[in-house]
Chain A
């Protein structure tokens, strides 16, 4: 299983110019092109998860995630925010890189946890924040994932 196989180019936004965490989650959910109602349910679930504890894991990276019946397969998105967002992250630093993961309650191939784990593993690599900052295109982002062998 390769992480890059789960990302599509149109679910990568390298120029987020949102003001808040909420707005950012909405924009990223929007990349999945669901209907309005499903988007709002998904947003609510992601917010609920954030209320249980921030998904900002430090070093400028956040991994909001949830399961919901409104998606029929695992979906991932990535967003980069130049100025940085207040995500109430563990290290209290602004978040620049947001990986969004959503999955249905039950998946045939059970990929949710492994994908979350791989993104976590990727995020922990020392040079990843600076490499993500330097990425110039969605393809470049996918190449980085590939290069890191996740």
Chain B
């Protein structure tokens, strides 16, 4: 897998975890059943996200920040040849590659980074 794609995936997962701790059901469960301190966890997640960010090139870093800020997600899955950022079919030549995750693909139509789940 492309190294920066892996970092982006991790960062996005951490962002999702952070967001879930700020509101609603997950927060309730984490602080109740699992006795987690949500504030401490959010601080720890922020620290990790900042650390990972340093691994990204400048332009990728900027794209990630802008996407996660405005559209909640920066990396979207491609499932059955369709980009889940915009629901437009990806060029067949991209999806046909042996391992499309070896490249850092950016959707031509919505600008999200793309990930092909197994």
Contact = CB atoms under 8 A, between A and B. Distances in A.
A106 to B, nearest CB: 8
B36 A45 contact: no
Contacts of B44: 51-52
A105 B33 CA distance: 21
Contacts of B60: none
A104 B13 CA distance: 9
A36 B95 CA distance: 20
A40 to B, nearest CB: 9
25 contacts: A34-B118, A37-B6, A38-B118, A41-B6, A41-B13, A45-B13, A48-B48, A52-B36, A53-B34, A53-B36, A53-B37, A66-B13, A67-B16, A67-B17, A68-B9, A69-B12, A69-B13, A69-B115, A69-B117, A70-B115, A71-B117, A72-B77, A72-B117, A105-B13, A106-B73
B106 interface: no
A105 B14 CA distance: 10
Interface stretch (A7-15, A113-121, A142-150): A113-121
Interface residues of A, number: 31
